Structure 1
Amino acid sequence: MALRDRLRRLLQRPGTVDLRPFQAVVAEAAAREPDVRGLTDEALTAAARALDPGDDASLCALGREAARRTLGERPYDVQLLGTLGLLSGHVVEMATGEGKTLAGALAAAGHALRGHRVHVMSVNDYLARRDAEWMGPLYAMLGVSVGWVGQSSTPDERRRAYAADVTYAPVSEIGFDLLRDRLATDPADLLLPAPGVALIDEADSVLVDEARVPLVLAGATDAAEADRTFAELARRLRPGLHYAADDEGRNVQLTPAGARAVEEALGGIDLYAPENLDTLTAVNVALHAEVLLQRDVDYIVRDGAVKLINASRGRVALLQRWPDGLQAAVEAKEAVAASPSGEILDSITVQELVGRYPVRCGMTGTALAVAEQLREFYDLEIAVIPPNRPCVRADEPDRLYATAADKEVAIVDEIAAAHAAGRPVLVGTLDVAESERLARCLERSGLPCVVLNAKNDAEEAAIIARAGAYGAITVSTQMAGRGTDIRLGGGAPPGADPSASPPPVSEEERERVAALGGLLVIGTGRHSSSRLDDQLRGRAGRQGDPGGSVFFASLEDDLVTRYAPDESHGGPVAPDGRVDDKNARWIVAHAQRVAEGVDLEIHRNTWRYHHLISLQRREVLAERDEVLHGDRADRVLAELRPERHAELVAAVGPERVAAAARQIMLFHLDRCWAEHLAFLADLREGIHLRSLGRGLDPLVEFHREAVPAGKRLPERARERAAETFDALAVVDGEIDMPGAGLVRPSATWTYVVHDNPFGSLDERAFRGLVAMFRRRSR
């Protein structure tokens, strides 16, 4: 091992995987390559199917040759290292352009050839279908079947896809199918097979950023739209006079004048009287929606609906919504139709979903930054794969400015200088509003640019394909910061839809751009996570290409004002507003570390609550599975109501009684679970009021009430089932099941509950109440 490699290994963060055993396997695979080259296609397929489960060298050799024949790509050694890392159950970190998709496909095939069913979890429908179809010929030559699932897939299409050896699907769709299975009343309706291997693309995003996001299955109820009176009232209130927001922009409170104005507008009520707590909460929620949630930052309005934006990807967060009260308040604010609301029938977090799989592995370009969380929550280690060619991207130090206005002027100047030379520029902004504001500034300066954000995501492929062209200026949100492959000179990346992207450009055009320094990436501010910064940087310098990156920041950026509001800088400021001071740079870095720490604590806290719910659901599901697949319901009801059971058996026969018992027990188990979820949601909302008032730990108090309630659930379901069983009627020799009152929701739908950005509703109402009393007592 070279001294440089030894030093790098020594300096790697604890927990990263030693690659030397994998490198030995890759070397052995290279030695077997000549023999594999001589195989016919049929012989290669047969050899793959006959592989010994522990023969990784042969798997790599066969996989490399299959990829060369079917895709025209011979995997690099580093791609095989990635494959071996995935086969060993690790998260592999591979830089942009290093071929994660192919490495993942070879690993998925390897797991399948070992006898495991594999789910490749992607972040959206497009990638699931693209990768399944792109890698399809490779899988076929290795004797492995492949399918894919998307949001529009029918139950039959899903069943066929899940029957394949390897299934590509968005993580949310797999979660939704699991929730539907948990409410199935007939084994023939089940979709998902037993979990085997989860191979997760963009693993840090899925396993960390979205781990705490609940996936929800809801049932139709008679839901009314939010009272738009509160939205109109909040719109009329004035900052400073009627309300004040905290320094971090996470809470807003009515002032005494504001409270009086609200009370007068609502007919002279006492807003803080106990009987008006619901009204106080509604006013606070409407005020939060009006003041703190910003259009084109936190959400956009498209097609007459409020669409949330995924902060870590810059894209529309498909199917996502805030909790019902906040969602309705924003919809009332924007005067759009209210989205469906209803009773939650079941839910599961992404972390719990992934945790079901006995084998978990993943790939991403930024894993080391969240190594602690991957180890803590998933027992996963990181395998850092070196690039095929050394990265020669020039990453400049941040340029820091005193004010946001000075920063914006400097950004425009930097873009103008690069554009004058013909160098392509990718500008990464923090939100939709900033991308559009910067585009207007560039237009006024005579700098033509293309904007990519959540509003025009349908044009993404074409915009990205041109982003590396001579003289191109692309202004984008984080959409271009993860998973995009920008080629120098322009051109579509492998696997792209040729109808949506231009064909690859000539080598001369690539060399022309490379001679100018390659793609220049400019960040308009530091993100709340260093991983997002690294993802944006990684758009330049792919596969040894030249490139550069530089981030601009200011002491007025939201990151600093929100997470380091008490830090100040009294050092020198240049005439152009630039600050070159260690203390000022420390403030920005400190703010980012605080933001990352907050996210980690939110993750931990959310998991503490959901872990108990997960354990309780596991117990209910164990009983439900016995009911669904066996005769447990019949035995339980025969024990609880022996005389009634005997009467029904005599009237209609044992099989029909058993079938009726099964449906009755399933209904009441599901009904009691939905009620239990509603109880837990209310408990978690209200626990802060009692806990903060008494100085108690909210989590302890939550467990104190949630645990006994969960233990009572199965018995309550059995008691209700027995009562329904007693009331069954026999009509014309048949059990009258329609008359039994087992009414399930007329419609169900799935969605993702976006994090409430302000914490518990009751906690915020409580803070507002306390603030009001403090002001009144002065």
Structure 2
Amino acid sequence: MGAFDWFWKAMGSTTERNNKKSKSVVAAAHELIPELSSLDDASLAAAVRGTVADGAIGDKPRFLAGLSVASERRLGLTPFNVQNQAVLRLLEGDVIQMATGEGKTLVGAMAAAGYALTGKRVHVITVNNYLADRDAEWMRPLVEFFGLTVASVTEASTREERIAAYRSDVVYAPVTEIGFDHLRDNQITNRSQTVQVPADVALVDEADSVLVDEALVPLVLAGSEGSQQATGQITAAVSHLEEEEHYTIDGEGRNVFLTDKGAEKIERILGIDSLYSDEHIGTTLVRVNLALHAKALLVRDVHYIVADGKVALVDASRGRVAELQRWPDGLQAAVESKEGLDVSEGGRILDSITLQALMRRYPTVCGMTGTAVEATDQLRTFYGLHVSVIDRAQELQRFDEADRIYATMAEKNEAIVEEIAHIHATGQPVLVGTHDVAESEALAEALEERGIEVNVLNAKNDAEEARIIAEAGDTGRVTVSTQMAGRGTDIRLGGADEADHDEVAELGGLAVIGTARHRTARLDNQLRGRAGRQGDPGLSLFFVSLEDDIVKVGGADEQITAQPAADGRIESNRIQQFIEHCQRVTEGQLLEIHSQTWKYNKLLADHRDILDERRAALLDTDTAWRELAERNPQRAAELDHLPQDVKEQAARDIMLFHLDDEWSEHLALMDDVRESIHLRAIARETPIDEFHRIAVREFKDLANRAVDKASETFAEVAITEDGAQLADAGWKRPSSTWTYMVSDNPLAGSGNSVISGIGNIFR
């Protein structure tokens, strides 16, 4: 960091000062608790509300003390001092780091109530539907104690339930539901159709997951178009291709390339002259490349599973089925065709937004997680957020064992099974973190062959997931889980009711085993954090092999030699340092990908802001009618017999239809430009600069085209007392819409999921 040392020291000292200040406020609050405990409920609520003036909390000690007393009365939970400190830091707009089991759910509810009491609407953003529903109901008595309203939005919520929920003071919801409702609201043609109302604060649970890991995931709203999909004929042709001879895969397993021989073979099978002719380059070649991507790079039970006759994608960051996720239509169809399934209906993208762009729409963003420090750079760079580390209520008793390193993956996997069997024999509960569905199932099968009963957690529903993870600390339990599964649910020693807590503590607490290092140390620490809750004993241990992805990618250009023992184990500080170096390299790659991808997305996000302003003007004023009437006064005069509100809504419908249609076309065009922009480097042009130049030019044209087409439609379409008859003129909005997510992070979620050799990895 060199020249910037002064900056980092200054940031560190500022955080330390803030924490000291918070601790002094908490100490003062502690002194006030006896006084406030003597008040009845109404007086206590009034005392807390009385600490707020002009949209800010004036008397913070009294405010915190009142919240603490209310929490004890309504929830039976008395906040620790460190929890009160965390509440203060959230109210200052920080991301707080609190260890697993330290009570983040209560902290979030207290901070949400604090923000709401100052007149701000709060979205408490959870990682799944189950937690949104659970936490809203769990914390409801505390929030309602102060006369505030609270609700949850989940995937199962109806439109009417969503409308009511979003008008509450505190709304619990998964980020995806908030994003999709935002996209749907951007398709309305009358303000009365709005589902959401603006919120002032996003309080993000598992903030590193939402703000960093999944930040660049685009949420997509698509509409029916009935477009032709990739055909089975092309899939069949591609199935005959052989790696190396007909196609090659790059070293990172992210791209596949057709060779000249491969192209010739496809041309021969399909009976065409050239894939690269004008006739085929934009259609057949695209579908061939999609089918090849599906064949060579997407592995069943790693990247997706097939269930109930449908392809279900695996959420890379959680290692379980993502109900709403799909690939862009062409690739989705290619995978469905590869698996011999019915090809789903195609459509056009109507709108999309990344989670990062969605989060930046909130005036205030704050959050909670167990692993924020390692994401400090990203949180500061992309959101301008500071991290506050909150001390544990009780000292950490977990033992973090040094990594066990093996030469080959096979030797490592054998050692993992042996270690689990050894620990299990003592009765100590074991939680194993794997990297994908195939790995979790292969490990479970290997353990069951040893007579060990296993709970596998990879593609269950959220409620089932929470139940299994809550029991993972019971005597003799072995739980094999994909990364992130069950996050947000405590693992209590002795089971969910802690009936056998002391017995399990005597055995050493929960043992957490990682089957490989992740591409960022933060994900390793998320897994470690499942053990050692609230001063309990625990163990964490990671296994690594020199064939793991992290070593292949992070150490790609380096040679390393080692002398393994007979069982393949390598005990060498030099190799341990090399593994850590590989992880730092992959962390750097992830940050660079995030930075580069954001540069592409940022311009579209800026364009979206301009588009939103235009949409708001068209929805909320008579702008549409005035502009169209000025362009065609004769047509406007012909409509004098109609009521003014009918004319304004007709003009609004026309303008919004063409604005939305052009935006959809713009997104498709810019997606195509981005896919091919790397070719610009050949012409010594900087890809990102060229992308920006094209995007700015095209966006200017978009605005002009939308108005010109609206003017033409205004002149031609029938406008009656029922409004503009757009459908009769062939201008139809989609008859159906659906939502999905597209991963925009080429390195997301890869662990041991190397493209080849994952079949029986634990045999």
Q: Same fold (TM over 0.5)?
A: yes
- For the 8 Å contact 2:408–2:546, the answer to whether it is kept is yes
Q: Partners of 1:258 and 1:713 in 2: how far apart? A: 39
Q: 1:482 aligns with which of 482, 487, 508?
A: 487
Q: Partners of 1:517 and 1:416 in 2: how far apart? A: 16
What secondary structure is seen at the aligned counterpart in 2 of 1:454?
Answer: coil
Q: How does 1:414-425 map to 2 (within 5 A)?
A: 414-425=419-430
Mapped pair 1:131 → 2:121 = no
Q: 1:755 aligns with which of 737, 741, 744?
A: 744
Q: Partners of 2:162 and 2:340 in 1: how far apart? A: 37
Q: Partners of 1:631 and 1:80 in 2: how far apart? A: 50
Q: Which residue does 2:695 correspond to in 1?
A: 706
Mapped pair 1:150 → 2:154 = yes
Q: Which residue does 2:65 correspond to in 1?
A: 61
Q: Partners of 2:613 and 2:260 in 1: how far apart? A: 54
Mapped pair 1:554 → 2:545 = yes
Q: Partners of 1:731 and 1:33 in 2: how far apart? A: 67
Q: 2:251 aligns with which of 247, 250, 270?
A: 247
Q: Partners of 1:12 and 1:421 in 2: how far apart? A: 47
What secondary structure is seen at the aligned counterpart in 2 of 1:750?
Answer: strand
Question: Aligned partner of 1:50: which letter?
Answer: G
The structural deviation recorded for 1:568 is: 2.7
Q: Partners of 1:229 and 1:487 in 2: how far apart? A: 54
Mapped pair 1:119 → 2:123 = yes
Q: 2:394 aligns with which of 374, 389, 394?
A: 389
Larger CA deviation: 283-292 vs 108-117: 283-292
Q: Which residue does 1:609 correspond to in 2?
A: 600
Question: Aligned partner of 1:423: which letter?
Answer: Q
Aligned residues: 735
Mapped pair 1:403 → 2:447 = no
Larger CA deviation: 426-435 vs 555-564: 555-564
Question: Aligned partner of 2:650: which letter?
Answer: A
Larger CA deviation: 149-158 vs 198-207: 149-158
Question: Aligned partner of 1:345: which letter?
Answer: L
What secondary structure is seen at the aligned counterpart in 1 of 2:123?
Answer: strand
Mapped pair 1:307 → 2:312 = yes
Q: Which residue does 1:764 correspond to in 2?
A: none
Q: Which residue does 2:42 correspond to in 1?
A: 42
Question: Aligned partner of 1:447: which letter?
Answer: I
Question: Aligned partner of 1:33: which letter?
Answer: I
Mapped pair 1:100 → 2:89 = no
Q: Which residue does 1:584 correspond to in 2?
A: 575
Q: Partners of 2:264 and 2:732 in 1: how far apart? A: 47
Mapped pair 1:687 → 2:677 = yes
The structural deviation recorded for 1:217 is: 1.4
The alpha-carbon distance between structure 1 residues 280 and 670, as it changes in their structure 2 partners (threshold 3 A), is closer
The structural deviation recorded for 1:150 is: 0.9
Q: Partners of 1:255 and 1:72 in 2: how far apart? A: 67
What secondary structure is seen at the aligned counterpart in 2 of 1:551?
Answer: strand
The alpha-carbon distance between structure 1 residues 60 and 538, as it changes in their structure 2 partners (threshold 3 A), is same
Q: Partners of 2:252 and 2:721 in 1: how far apart? A: 69
Mapped pair 1:631 → 2:636 = no
Larger CA deviation: 231-240 vs 744-753: 231-240
Q: Which residue does 2:535 correspond to in 1?
A: 544
Q: Which residue does 2:663 correspond to in 1?
A: 673
Q: Partners of 2:130 and 2:477 in 1: how far apart? A: 26
Measured on the aligned residues, the alpha-carbon RMSD in Å equals 2.3
Deviations 1:375-419 (A, max 9, x none): 011000001001100111000110101011111121122112211
Question: Aligned partner of 1:244: which letter?
Answer: T
Q: Which residue does 2:501 correspond to in 1?
A: 510
Q: 2:470 aligns with which of 439, 462, 465?
A: 465
Q: How does 1:617-656 map to 2 (within 5 A)?
A: 617-649=608-640, 651-656=641-646
What secondary structure is seen at the aligned counterpart in 2 of 1:19?
Answer: helix
What secondary structure is seen at the aligned counterpart in 2 of 1:135?
Answer: helix
Q: How does 1:185-196 map to 2 (within 5 A)?
A: 185-196=189-200
The alpha-carbon distance between structure 1 residues 668 and 243, as it changes in their structure 2 partners (threshold 3 A), is closer
The alpha-carbon distance between structure 1 residues 105 and 356, as it changes in their structure 2 partners (threshold 3 A), is same
Larger CA deviation: 328-337 vs 241-250: 241-250
Q: How does 1:194-593 map to 2 (within 5 A)?
A: 194-267=198-271, 269-273=273-277, 275-277=279-281, 278-454=283-459, 459-480=464-485, 482-491=487-496, 504-506=497-499, 509-593=500-584
The alpha-carbon distance between structure 1 residues 736 and 418, as it changes in their structure 2 partners (threshold 3 A), is closer
Q: Partners of 1:741 and 1:332 in 2: how far apart? A: 32
Q: Partners of 1:37 and 1:517 in 2: how far apart? A: 39
Q: Partners of 2:51 and 2:344 in 1: how far apart? A: 52
Q: Partners of 2:331 and 2:250 in 1: how far apart? A: 19
Q: 1:179 aligns with which of 178, 183, 193?
A: 183
Q: TM-score, normalised by structure 2?
A: 0.92
What secondary structure is seen at the aligned counterpart in 2 of 1:652?
Answer: coil
The structural deviation recorded for 1:347 is: 1.3
Q: Which residue does 1:76 correspond to in 2?
A: 80
Q: Partners of 1:736 and 1:547 in 2: how far apart? A: 68
Question: Aligned partner of 1:600: which letter?
Answer: L
Question: Aligned partner of 2:660: which letter?
Answer: D
The alpha-carbon distance between structure 1 residues 425 and 645, as it changes in their structure 2 partners (threshold 3 A), is same
The structural deviation recorded for 1:741 is: 4.5
What secondary structure is seen at the aligned counterpart in 1 of 2:639?
Answer: helix
Q: Partners of 1:541 and 1:340 in 2: how far apart? A: 49
Q: Partners of 1:253 and 1:714 in 2: how far apart? A: 37
The alpha-carbon distance between structure 1 residues 713 and 272, as it changes in their structure 2 partners (threshold 3 A), is closer
- For the 8 Å contact 2:405–2:571, the answer to whether it is kept is yes
What secondary structure is seen at the aligned counterpart in 2 of 1:45?
Answer: helix
Question: Aligned partner of 2:120: which letter?
Answer: H
Larger CA deviation: 307-316 vs 270-279: 270-279
Q: Partners of 1:732 and 1:238 in 2: how far apart? A: 64
Q: Partners of 1:478 and 1:253 in 2: how far apart? A: 31
Larger CA deviation: 308-317 vs 249-258: 249-258
